[in-house]
Chains A and B, each alone.
Chain A
C-alpha cells in the first residue's frame, strides 16, 4: 500500500487479466449482450485501477467521473440491449431529451418547490433556531430542558407533520415552507446550542478581564467560535429542507412543484419526466449544499478543519 511503483500495470494484473478473460468467454457463451456489458465495465474498471496508481491531483477528479460515466453508459447499454420497456427504466438519453424539452415546466416546478417552499422555510427555520439558541443560552435551566427534547425531536419522522401543515396553511408554498421550518428547526437549534458552549473558559475569562459586556463577548468570541457547529446544522438542514418541501407536496399542492410533478407523472407512468424531475432535485440539492459549504469556508477560514 505504501510503496507505489510508477508503472501502469503490475505483475499481479496478469492473473486478473486471465480471470477477466475467462469470465468474458463464459458470458459470451451464455449471452453476447451480457459479454458486451461486461467488456465496458471491465475496461472502465481497469482504466480506474491504472489511474489510481498515479497519485496525481487530477486522478482524484478523473476516477469518480469515469466511474459515473461508466454507470450511465452501462445503464444505456442494458436498457437498449435487453429492450427494457420505458415504463420500467428509461435510458439516460431519453431522460436528457425530456429534460431539454421541458425546461420551462421544470423551472416552474423548481421555483415553486425550491425557491419558495424550501428556501423560504429554510431561512425562517434556521434564523428562528439560531435566535432561540442565543436567547436561551443565558438560562442554564432552559438549556438543560430543551437540549434533550430537541435531540429527541430531531430523530423523529417530522415529515409526518406535512398533512397537518397542508390543512393549516393551504395547498400553496406556505404549507411547504411550514413543514420545512419544523424540519430544520431542531437540528439547527441543537447544533447552535452546542456551538455556543465551544468557547473555552480561558477565552471567556480573557473577555471578562477586558471588561467586555455580554453582547460584546457574544459577538466577538462566542458566535464566531460557534460557527463551525452552526454550519454543521445548516448543512444537515439543506437536505432536510428539500425533502420536506417535496414530500409535503405529496399531500396536496397547486398544479406545479417538484413533488406534485413526480407523483402525477408516476401515476401516468411517464417515467422520463419523473427522472428529469429527480435530476433537478439532485442538482438543486447538491448545489444548495455546495453554496452553504462555500459560505462555511468563507466564515470559518480559521478553523483547523478548513485549513488542511
Chain B
C-alpha cells in the first residue's frame, strides 16, 4: 500500500503530459483553420479547440474516455460498433489458441524431461525459436488457411497457440527439472515409477514456473490474435479496429481500441495472477 501515492502521482503526471501533448500536436490544425478563415486565435480559444477535434493528431484523454463509454456501455454488445463485440472476437481466438498452445507446451515439456533424445533434439530449437520474430508468419498463416477454406477463429487461434507454445515449453522444462537430486533419489528409494515421480514431485514443483510462463504466454497470444486480424482486411476484432482506424484517420477509434486491448491484457494477466496466488497458497508454496 506504500506505493499507492507514488503510482497515483506518476499516473497524474502521464495524464498531464498527455493533455499538454494533445494541445501541442493539435494546435497546427487550429492555426490552419484560422488562417483559412482569415482570423487569429488567442491562446484561450486555442486550448478548447485542440480538445474537441474529430480527427485530432493526438486525441485528448477525455475524448478517448467518451469514445470508450460510447462503444462499450452505450452500444449493444451485438452491434458491429461495439467494442465489446470486437473485443470478444479477439478474446475468443486468444483463449482458444492459448489453451491449445499451453496444453501442447506442457505435453512437450513432459516428453523432453523424460526422453533424453527428445531433450537434445528439440530443446535447442525451442530456445532458438524465442529469438525469432515468429509473428512475421502471421499473415501467411491467415492467407494460406483462407485459401484452403478455413476462415474465422481457427487461423488466429493457431497463431496465438504458436506464440504461447514456446514460452510454456521452456518454462515448464525448467520447472519440471526444479526438484533437486535428493528429492528424486528419495522417491526412487520408495520405488516410485516414472509416472509417480511426475505426478507427485515434478508437476507440483513446476507450478511457480508454469504460472510465470502462462503470464508471458497469454500476453503473446493476445498480440498474436490482434496481428492475425490485420491481413484479412479489417472485418472484426480489435486488430481490425486498429487497421480501419489507421485507414480512415480515425485516431480516437485507434486509441480506444488500444485501450481496450490493454485492458484485455491486464485482465487476462490479472486472472492468471489471482489463480497463481490461490493455487500456490493452497499448496503452501507462497512466499
Q: Which residue numbers of A lie inside 8 Å of B, CB to CB?
A: 1, 45, 48-49, 51-52, 59-60, 63-64, 66-68, 87-89, 141-146, 148-149, 152, 155-157, 159-164, 166-168, 238-239, 242-243, 246-247, 250-252, 258-259, 262-263, 266-267, 269, 271, 274-275, 277-278, 281-282, 285-286, 288-290
Chain B residues in 8 Å Cβ range of A266: 139-140, 143, 231
- Least CB distance, B2 to chain A, in whole angstroms: 7
Determine whether the beta carbon of A163 is less than 8 Å from that of B245. yes
Determine whether the beta carbon of A250 is less than 8 Å from that of B10. no
Which one of A59, A66, A239, A277 lies within 8 Å of B130 (CB-CB)?
A239
The answer to whether B135 has its CB under 8 Å from any CB of chain A is: yes
Determine whether the beta carbon of A149 is less than 8 Å from that of B10. yes
Are A163 and B226 CB-contacts (below 8 A) given A263-B231, A281-B132?
no
The answer to whether B107 has its CB under 8 Å from any CB of chain A is: no
Known: A48-B120, A250-B231. 20 other contacts (CB 8 A): A63-B121, A87-B144, A145-B9, A155-B269, A160-B261, A163-B243, A163-B245, A238-B131, A242-B133, A243-B135, A246-B133, A247-B135, A252-B246, A263-B231, A266-B140, A266-B143, A274-B139, A278-B137, A282-B132, A282-B133
- Least CB distance, B224 to chain A, in whole angstroms: 9
In the assembled complex, the Cα of A66 lies from the Cα of B117 at a distance in Å of 11
Determine whether the beta carbon of A167 is less than 8 Å from that of B249. yes
Determine whether the beta carbon of B117 is less than 8 Å from that of A48. yes
Determine whether the beta carbon of A278 is less than 8 Å from that of B9. no
Nearest 5 pairs of A and B residues by beta carbon: A145-B6, A163-B246, A145-B10, A67-B121, A289-B131
Q: Which residue numbers of B lie inside 8 Å of A, CB to CB?
A: 2-3, 5-11, 14, 57, 116-117, 120-125, 128, 130-133, 135-137, 139-140, 143-144, 147-148, 215, 219, 222-223, 226-227, 230-231, 238-239, 242-243, 245-246, 249, 251, 254-255, 257-258, 261-262, 265-266, 269
- Least CB distance, B120 to chain A, in whole angstroms: 4
In the assembled complex, the Cα of A189 lies from the Cα of B128 at a distance in Å of 25
Determine whether the beta carbon of B116 is less than 8 Å from that of A262. no
- Least CB distance, B240 to chain A, in whole angstroms: 12
Determine whether the beta carbon of A148 is less than 8 Å from that of B7. yes
In the assembled complex, the Cα of A238 lies from the Cα of B133 at a distance in Å of 10
Chain B residues in 8 Å Cβ range of A281: 132-133, 136
Determine whether the beta carbon of A156 is less than 8 Å from that of B266. yes
Which one of A52, A164, A259 lies within 8 Å of B255 (CB-CB)?
A164
Determine whether the beta carbon of B219 is less than 8 Å from that of A155. yes
Determine whether the beta carbon of A88 is less than 8 Å from that of B148. yes
